[in-house]
Amino acid sequence: MAPPQPTGRFERRDYFAWEAEQPVKHEYIAGEVFAQAGARQNHVVVAGNCFAALRQQLRGTHCRAYISDMQLEVEKADAVYYPDVMVSCHPADLTAERVLHHPRVIVEVLSDSTAAYDRGQKFAAYRMLDSLQEYVLIDPERHSLEIFRRLPSNDWLLATGDSARALVLASLEMEIGLDEVFEDVMAVRGGLDDAAAQN
């Protein structure tokens, strides 16, 4: 996560008006705003693959997939995020202009700078969303993913079997193969992708 921006402290309602006028995206956490750095190609490709697959499989249903320009407000955490991919089936979200409140699935693509945050503080905030049923973390460099599911007890379970074989979203009754999730992802070697290393 980037350091907070020197804007002074915001109320959440004031942040929304301020953010709408900014040239770059900022997340909001308890009065502070944090600029969102640009992503590497593998990050963008994986997020795009997931969005495209979800959009295709959700056609004709009452659910919709969203890419990272949509905001997610977590009122209980006093926070606003830009998740990489979300799916919502809630009528209020389907008519929202910029901000969602009731996602059923959230997908975050990991990077070295955000992995600990995505697993820790951000996941803790997301768990406050009563609507959220599955949280997926995808590591584009290791070609691996982790699927966390909410249990009826409101505890969360890491679905290790499903995570090893596919992006299995039980709450949506769908499955996306790992080859589709990681399609066109460049192999990384010593900080350089293989294509660049061959030139």
Q: What is the pLDDT of residues 23-35, one digit of tens each?
A: 999 999 999 999 8
Beta bridge partners of 54: none
| Dist. CA 52–CA 32, nearest whole Å | 32
What is the SS3 assignment for 182? coil
| Dist. CA 118–CA 114, nearest whole Å | 6
Output the pTM of the full model. 0.89
Q: What CATH topology corresponds to 40-198?
A: tt1808, chain A (3.90.1570)
pLDDT band with cut points at 50, 70 and 90 for residue 39: confident
Instruction: Indicate the domain borders of the chain.
Output: 1-37, 40-198
| Dist. CA 183–CA 74, nearest whole Å | 32
Residue type for position 162: D
Which among 112, 142, 25 has a CA at the least distance from the CA of 72?
A: 25
Q: What DSSP element (H or E) covers 149?
A: strand 144-150
